[in-house]
A and B are shown apart, each in its own frame.
Chain A
Amino acid sequence: MAEPDQVAFLERQAKTIRCLSLEMIGNAGSGHPGGALSAAEIMSVLYFSILNVDPENPQWKDRDRFVLSKGHGTAAWYAALCEKGYFPRDELKLFRQKGGILQGHPDMTKVPGVEMTAGSLGQGLSAALGMALAGRMQKQSYHVYALLGDGEIQEGQIWEAAMATAHFKVDSLTAILDYNDVQLDGPTHEVMDVAPVAEKWRDFGWEVVECNGHSVPELLAAFAQALAIKGKPCIIVAHTVKGKGVSFMENTCNWHGVIDPSKMPAALQEVEAL
């Protein structure tokens, strides 16, 4: 069981990630609020409990690696990295803007803590597998985490990577699926259904752990369970709500991107009041 203090801390960090994400997106006038908000607890738990990283030494070679395969959710990643201490808050003001390091999708050459450039969907899980295989070949013991979107797993390359990760018996990679059931054009189950998700990953040789992706205690338990699995990879299917925390952004594809920048202050107010 997680300590109550730790849970409260991680919930606060998730709230901060939501607030910073919406501030950045509001400031830029564009971005992807829905998929950032759905991943806030996942990011909080990863960066403030799970990942063995050192923001003072972002290139430390034995660090754990995190890959945001669903690159459009990057506001939440930048917020988590900033809170962790990788770069100052002033940088967030230049999200998506000329001269800033925080590109619309993550760029590993510009942002400390960003381990892999992402944006074209379906590629991050493979890169995470490469990192895990490199760790094996170079006799390092770090762990690799990759966050996938549920719409993203419509990409064929995800299943190439899923097959290969199990084939190579990689247990130093944990995938997390942000299963919010909404993608840009509509509900995922209507656009191109990915269900049954758990069965698909099990059939590809993965262990599957399911949890409520907005419950910090459930996420902590899911990571503990995932890390205990040996000889095969594990995916945490985190059931989430797109746009979580903002009434008018929840469960709608309309706020995958920003449809109305003038509503961003109201969105921020809602998450600040959480």
Chain B
Amino acid sequence: MRPLEDVAMRDVFASTASALYEEGKNIVVMDADVSKSTRSAKFAEKHPERFVNVGIAEQNMLSIAAGMAACGMIPLVCSFSMLLSLRALDQIRQQAAYAKNNVKIMAHYGGYSSGPEGPTHHAIEDLGIMRTLPNMKILVPCDAEETEAALRTTVDTPGPVFLRMSRNPVPRVPGKPGKVEFGKGYRLRHGGDLAIIAIGVMVSSALDAAEELAKEGIECQVIAMPSLKPIDVDLIVEAARQTGAVVTAEEHNIYGGLGSAVAEVLVEHAPVPMKRVGIQDQFAESAEFFELLEKYGLSAADIVAACRETLARK
């Protein structure tokens, strides 16, 4: 595993939100009693006039945000991803997605990153749920550096956005383009044998896997896909045509997330052998974040194994 960054996505979220407000963006940060966890409390310390804590009432928070957005503000709504995507789903669907309100959902503690809190707090369905909502855009940065770019793009783009972040510092991904665009992925490594398409914390593991396979002369390209929706159809098709084999890697149930999205593109445009690395439709357990990634099939070694299996089917 690559060295971890010094800061976590949530810290970058807080500093970037403050910067955006200071730059004149009409934002308001909201939280539902987890402001110390999401770090929205740091924003609140600097700008209490633009912070609203609604208490433990996520549904109320989302609807309040819709009302604020309807009055020209840009609410950044913070909580744990599983609470936002499940508890407040109806409000998100009706008043953000359908109503096209400019509500920005700050989905903290994505995937397994709440670790020891246990499966009640793991967000393994959030991306799939959000992907089925018309008008909803979804970003998943791969590290803290990319979180700043993702939040800036989120705030600058009208309409509802779901931005999923990880709780803990994650490995820094080298070679990122420095900006995040909706509908755009980017290639971190070139190779003609197979394409690994990854999202979030799995991007760095994909790079590790590609390096491992390169030792045997297998050249994999690695594509990061921070914009899950809209997804970069052209890049996926190009990678499939260049390599003839695709492996996806995501910290999410294998149903509904990146693997599903890539499979949908491939089956319509460029069918090639493919395998999805992800959570195998199961609830996990209490454990540290990286222990969970290891135990539940989300390590670099799992990506390597998936690549070998897929290459054998070419």
Contact = CB atoms under 8 A, between A and B. Distances in A.
Q: Do A and B come from one complex?
A: yes
Interface of A: 61, 65, 67, 107-109, 115-120, 123-124, 126-135, 137-138, 156-157, 160-161, 163-164, 167
B284 interface: no
Contact of B67 (A131, A157, A160): A131
Given A130-B64, A137-B50, A123 B95 contact: yes
Interface in B55-90: 55, 57, 59-60, 62-73, 75, 90
Given A117-B98, A123-B91, A134-B67, A160 B72 contact: no
A164 B71 contact: no
The residue among B73, B90, B94, B100 with the most chain A CB atoms within 10 A of its own CB is B94
Contact of B68 (A119, A131, A156): A131
A109 B71 contact: no
Interface residues of B, number: 30
A134 B71 contact: yes
Nearest to B75: A130
A160 B57 contact: yes
If over half of A's interface residues share one DSSP class (helix, strand or loop), that class is named, otherwise mixed; here it is helix
Contacts of A67: 67
Contact of A126 (B55, B64, B98, B99): B64
B54 interface: yes
Contacts of B6: none
Contacts of B99: 107-109, 116-117
A109 B100 contact: yes
A123 B54 CA distance: 15
Contacts, number: 108
A130 B73 CA distance: 10
B67 A128 contact: yes
B63 A161 contact: yes
Nearest to B57: A160
Contacts of B28: 134, 137
A134 B68 CA distance: 5
Contacts of A61: 71-72
A57 B13 CA distance: 37
Given A116-B67, A129-B63, A130-B70, 5 more contacts: A117-B94, A131-B67, A133-B67, A137-B49, A138-B73
The residue among A109, A127, A163 with the most chain B CB atoms within 10 A of its own CB is A127
A106 to B, nearest CB: 10
The residue among B28, B62, B70 with the most chain A CB atoms within 10 A of its own CB is B70
B63 A164 contact: no
